[in-house]
């Protein structure tokens, strides 16, 4: 395995025009050998394609490589979990369909409820109420809870992924212009 890690590190150094000697290569290999060689190879390949920033070291740190490996492993786990999810339920109705009828596929996974209140401040309006669980007297209010579908809902996960990609693009664009948000 250490041979595959050494090859990946050497290819990364060549791609980034970094000068590393045998000792530096050994340090990289020894500190990365506990990781899967395939992950290290993919992380080094990804980092090799990144543009080098101004005043940035030619060779990424071991921590950067390890973080990139963790990111790739997490993406692989999410992709595998996505494959295990069931298909969206089908409907013959013209109304909107949701994977989860409780949260309506809200990307954040929050379910919003309205509490009538307890005691003097309680509302008498004819609305759908859900008690919040507080015992002390209080007025009507809204509250939220995380939906149980959040880790499994492919629709809300896709929406979160789209928002994350858009945020990365905005951040990258801002960094290229010299701003840091």
159 φ, ψ (degrees, to nearest 5): -65, -40
Give the pLDDT confidence of 29-70 residue by residue, as tens digits. 999 989 999 999 999 999 999 888 888 888 999 999 999 999
Give the pLDDT confidence of 76-110 residue by residue, as tens digits. 888 887 777 666 666 666 666 778 888 888 888 88
Average pLDDT value over all residues in the chain:
84
Give the pLDDT confidence of 119-157 residue by residue, as tens digits. 776 667 767 788 888 888 888 888 888 888 888 888 888
DSSP-derived letter for residue 112 is E
pLDDT of residue 91: 62
pTM over 0.85: no
pLDDT of residue 87: 65
């Amino acid at each position: 395995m250490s041979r595959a890690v050494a090859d990946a590190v050497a290819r990364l150094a060549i791609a980034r025009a970094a000068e590393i000697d045998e000792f530096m290569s050994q340090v990289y290999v020894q500190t990365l050998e506990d990781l899967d060689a395939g992950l290290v190879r993919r992380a080094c390949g990804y980092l090799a394609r990144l543009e080098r920033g101004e005043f940035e070291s030619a060779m990424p740190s071991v921590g950067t490589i390890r973080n990139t490996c963790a990111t790739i492993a997490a993406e692989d786990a999410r992709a595998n979990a996505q494959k295990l999810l069931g298909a969206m339920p089908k409907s013959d109705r013209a109304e909107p369909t949701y994977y989860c009828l409780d949260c309506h596929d809200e990307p954040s996974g929050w379910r919003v409820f309205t509490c009538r209140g307890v005691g003097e401040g309680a509302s008498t309006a004819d609305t759908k109420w859900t008690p919040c669980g507080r015992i002390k007297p209080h007025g009507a209010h809204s509250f939220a809870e995380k939906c149980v579908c959040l880790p499994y809902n492919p629709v809300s996960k896709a929406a979160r992924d789209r928002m994350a990609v858009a945020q990365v693009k905005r951040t990258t664009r801002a960094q290229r212009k010299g701003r840091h948000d």
